[in-house]
Structure 1
Amino acid sequence: MRVQNRHIIYVQGYDPRGLAQYYRMFRTELRKFGRLYGVNATISRPHSSSDGDIASWLIETKGETWQTRTAYDFLRFEDFIQNDLTAPIWRIVLEAVWIYWRLMFRGTIARFWRANWRFATFITWPHIILLLEALGAAAVGFVFGKGLGALGVPSPLSFTAGAAVFFALLWGALRYFENQTYVLYLLCDTIWTWQYAHRGRPEWDRRIDRFAQYLTEVARNSDADEIVIVGHSSGSFLAAEILARALKLDPALGRGRARLMLLTLGGNFPIVGFHKAAADFRAHLAELAVTPQVDWIDCQARKDVMNFFLFDPIAAHGIKLSAERRNPTIVSVRFREIIKPDHYKLFRWQFFRVHFQFVMANERPHAYDFFMIVCGPVPLRERMAHPEAALAVVTTNDAKTRDSSWVVLDPPGASEPPAAADLGSYVEPTARRRG
């Protein structure tokens, strides 16, 4: 049960920063991880596939009594995302507002509210900021037009001038306050998820199919002890989609030497799955829920407004399954427990920073540690089943305690995986909602 070779396939969310910034962040956080646990972790330079869609690097990690080698793949979508953000501002605004009204009238926003009011507030927030900026610009434009009228300027001309001031001020506010508000970025995200749910982005489907084929090749040829497909944020439903399509290409996927795991972090499945048009996606979720050769761990955090907390990705989509359901195991993560109090107070209201804590280094040793999942010796399934033992094998200096912890993780004669009820034993009881 001790992992020596691991293969991570990381699926990015709707993040335009892409490979360069992600790799720098990963390298920085890896160094923090090494200092926290007193391990030596080295990382290679990234190299890209021939088509540039996949970047890969190697990580070698050595602890006092263990050593691992991790192949890390970064699946890239940033070219699509960056292209979305270059659209004219007027087009982004009009399309996003039209989509939001359709979400309102079709009851989708109400479903978001029932599932998680914090996320519903977050997805509504850019429209509130847009409305406030529009009202401010309209007030200035109105006063300007009235002022021209008072000076004797003909009404058509004063109205046109006022309208021009309105549009100029609104454009300027959207453009120059974007780094503070992220309004245009979030509106583009709304447009993309709508189009994706309605199968209106064929270029995304083609790349997902390409990644699904890549996953089957990795599983067929890898010498890894476990293969973990990681999806963060919007990457959660993209990772699930990639895995589901890979299983269609190769129904025997995951039955080989390497254990196949799906790890979704800070997921927001409903932004696709709650659309009536996303029947195929919901069918894929249902398949993953019962697939015997895949273990799916879904990590959620109350503090993260960009994920759905206390959310069952299967039952909440109206998917009804009988007793054969085995996935996902839902794990609640408390960022307050893995970050030093002073630092936590500094960024607890920085929503994007909180959201990315799922894939950043801990400041305190804890059962949830992204870099220990990536680089540590304990398999992901056993880590979630026995978190205290998993933590002990990498933090204790006492050989007897360490050996007894390994016995808990890998009991003699064990042939069956840990029971679903034992998985995520450190989660809040209310978070472990099963269908």
Structure 2
Amino acid sequence: MDADAPQPQHDGARQRPVRRRHVLYLSGFDPQGPAHYHALYAAEAAQQARASGYLVSVGKRYRLGTNAAWDVHWTSSGESVETCYEFLRWDDIVRAHWPRGQGRLLRVTLATTARLIWNGSLWRIWQTSWPAFLALAMPAALVASGGAVLVGLITLFSASVIGAVGGWGAITALALAWPLAHLASVAQRKVQMAWLMRSASVVIQQARGRMPALELRLDAFAQRLLDVCRMTSVDEVLVIGHSSGAMLAASVVARALRRDPSLAHTSSKLSMLTLGECIPLLSYQPEAHGFRDELAVLRSHLGLNWVDVTAPPDGCCFALVDPTEVVEDGLPESQRRPGGPKRVSPRFAQCFSPETYVKVRRDKYRCHFQYLMAVERPGTYDFFLLSAGPQTLQEKFAHQPPVLRFDDFRCFGGPRR
């Protein structure tokens, strides 16, 4: 990792402590709704409070318009913060696009992978981040391998029946099939490949303009963001997007900025935090012109306080990649402008004992959700200080240098522009 990073985007001058915050949270592609995320937040906040020495009280879940919310009370050393944590609901849309049954899932896996290959986006993903490429390519590879083994078994069995091939051929094929099935089972448990392919399938539909319900929901979220930013009683409005929710967060903030550009002023109360983002999966789709335009809006507003947190061990994200870089495709070096989020690593290796970190790193599904969970050794990364503590996002990361270039996962020199 090349973390030579010059001055952070914003200075570290002490700001007035946050006393009231409003969080707008966007989950990833997950059919589980606010009940699940409320329970996760409450349990992990209590665990983090014990490790960190502060107090956190998470209230009951309640309706807030068409969304859900819960109140968080944070206290430490005489400071207290009240946070309204609003869960922006799109889980109903996820459930409507969640194919069930092995047959449908296999078709989605093969069709989605074929589309990614045909339109060139999978090749570009490989150039950008080989772990993300493996996560997206492995499901179809395992399906294809399993199909090849099955055909081989049928052929060998048929041949053995007529005596052309002895029984040893079928036994050999069965011996090869078992480790393949075991590999597929392990990969499914650790990486949740079925979830990945469902998500990628919807991203392709979104890029092609085939998700009108989602577009309407994003417009409504943008208006909700504008309404919250106009609340005079709130010190910080924090938009948080995790995983695929980072794509939605980018669209929501960009659409709000189009309506009110002053939201990106350095004195604005608006902040955006993206966690474990996989934005290039959408922005690399050839048809995603509207989304790339939204990324261009974000990149052009240098006063926007946007922090992007990704961890290299998280194979389901694009670790330490500038998610707005794609908007400068084709521009000569002399015309490229600075912009995009402040990119940092949560440094999970420093957040746990060596024994625990090995478990977190090996379980890729857990690693992808670790951004939302408690850590053993507070200091480097603390999601509950970010979402409920007394510092703004800008102040919390002011002294942490950004990662300007991370080439460890690039292949073939990175994506060509």
TM-score bracket, shorter-length normalisation: 0.7 to 0.9
Distance 1:178 1:368, change over 3 A: closer
C-alpha deviation, 1:305, in angstroms:
0.8
Identify the residue that residue 41 of structure 1 maps to in structure 2: 56
Equivalent residues of 2:25, 2:239 under 8 A apart:
yes
State the distance in 1 between where 2:405 and 2:236 align. 29
Match of 1:209 among 189, 203, 219: 219
1:182-221 equivalent positions in 2, closer than 5 A: 182-221=192-231
Once the two structures are superposed, what CA deviation does each residue of 1:175-218 show, in whole Å capped at 9, x if it has no partner?
99965773432221221111111111111111111111111111
Match of 1:101 among 114, 117, 121: 114
State the distance in 1 between where 2:186 and 2:77 align. 51
State the distance in 2 between where 1:77 and 1:310 align. 27
Equivalent residues of 1:174, 1:183 under 8 A apart:
no
Distance 1:86 1:110, change over 3 A: closer
1:4 has 2:14 as partner? no
Structure 1 counterpart SS, 2:318: coil
State the distance in 2 between where 1:222 and 1:139 align. 69
Identify the residue that residue 167 of structure 2 maps to in structure 1: none
Structure 2 counterpart SS, 1:96: helix
C-alpha deviation, 1:18, in angstroms:
2.3
**Residue type matched to 1:69 in 2?**
E
1:161-176 equivalent positions in 2, closer than 5 A: none
Equivalent residues of 1:129, 1:183 under 8 A apart:
no
Equivalent residues of 1:227, 1:259 under 8 A apart:
yes
Q: Which has the larger radius of gyration?
A: 1
Identify the residue that residue 20 of structure 1 maps to in structure 2: 35
1:229 has 2:239 as partner? yes
State the distance in 2 between where 1:180 and 1:302 align. 16
Gaps of 5+ in 2: 1-14, 164-182, 408-416
For normalisation by structure 1, the TM-score amounts to 0.78
Identify the residue that residue 90 of structure 1 maps to in structure 2: 103
State the distance in 2 between where 1:74 and 1:295 align. 21
Structure 1 counterpart SS, 2:281: helix
Aligned sequence identity (%): 29
State the distance in 1 between where 2:279 and 2:290 align. 13
Once the two structures are superposed, what CA deviation does each residue of 1:224-260 show, in whole Å capped at 9, x if it has no partner?
1111111111111110001111222333435698511
**Residue type matched to 2:290 in 1?**
D
State the distance in 2 between where 1:124 and 1:26 align. 32
Equivalent residues of 2:276, 2:317 under 8 A apart:
yes
**Residue type matched to 1:364 in 2?**
R
1:236-315 equivalent positions in 2, closer than 5 A: 236-253=246-263, 259-315=269-325
Identify the residue that residue 336 of structure 1 maps to in structure 2: 349
Structure 1 counterpart SS, 2:230: helix
**Residue type matched to 1:43 in 2?**
V
**Residue type matched to 1:384 in 2?**
F
Identify the residue that residue 405 of structure 1 maps to in structure 2: none
Identify the residue that residue 128 of structure 1 maps to in structure 2: 141
Equivalent residues of 2:192, 2:365 under 8 A apart:
no
C-alpha deviation, 1:46, in angstroms:
0.9
Distance 1:304 1:223, change over 3 A: same
**Residue type matched to 2:133 in 1?**
A
Tell me whether 123-132 or 243-252 shows the greater mean CA deviation.
243-252
State the distance in 1 between where 2:304 and 2:267 align. 13
Distance 1:257 1:104, change over 3 A: closer
Identify the residue that residue 370 of structure 1 maps to in structure 2: 383
Distance 1:254 1:177, change over 3 A: closer
C-alpha deviation, 1:429, in angstroms:
5.9
C-alpha deviation, 1:88, in angstroms:
5.0
State the distance in 2 between where 1:75 and 1:308 align. 24
Equivalent residues of 1:266, 1:307 under 8 A apart:
yes
State the distance in 1 between where 2:296 and 2:264 align. 17
Distance 1:137 1:360, change over 3 A: same
Tell me whether 113-122 or 134-143 shows the greater mean CA deviation.
134-143
Match of 2:74 among 13, 38, 61: 61
C-alpha deviation, 1:380, in angstroms:
1.0
1:32 has 2:47 as partner? yes
State the distance in 1 between where 2:216 and 2:136 align. 27
C-alpha deviation, 1:368, in angstroms:
2.3
Equivalent residues of 1:195, 1:201 under 8 A apart:
yes
C-alpha deviation, 1:307, in angstroms:
1.1
RMSD: 3.0
Once the two structures are superposed, what CA deviation does each residue of 1:306-331 show, in whole Å capped at 9, x if it has no partner?
11123122224435596874431111
**Residue type matched to 2:205 in 1?**
Q
**Residue type matched to 1:39 in 2?**
Y
Gaps of 5+ in 1: 151-172, 387-423
**Residue type matched to 1:277 in 2?**
E
1:361 has 2:374 as partner? yes
Once the two structures are superposed, what CA deviation does each residue of 1:351-380 show, in whole Å capped at 9, x if it has no partner?
010111111112112232111101211211
Identify the residue that residue 169 of structure 1 maps to in structure 2: none
Equivalent residues of 1:254, 1:294 under 8 A apart:
yes
Distance 1:50 1:376, change over 3 A: closer
Once the two structures are superposed, what CA deviation does each residue of 1:52-78 show, in whole Å capped at 9, x if it has no partner?
xx1111101110131111110111222
Name which structure has the greater RCO, CA cutoff 8 Å, separation 6+.
Answer: 2
Distance 1:5 1:102, change over 3 A: same
**Residue type matched to 1:340 in 2?**
S
1:72 has 2:85 as partner? yes
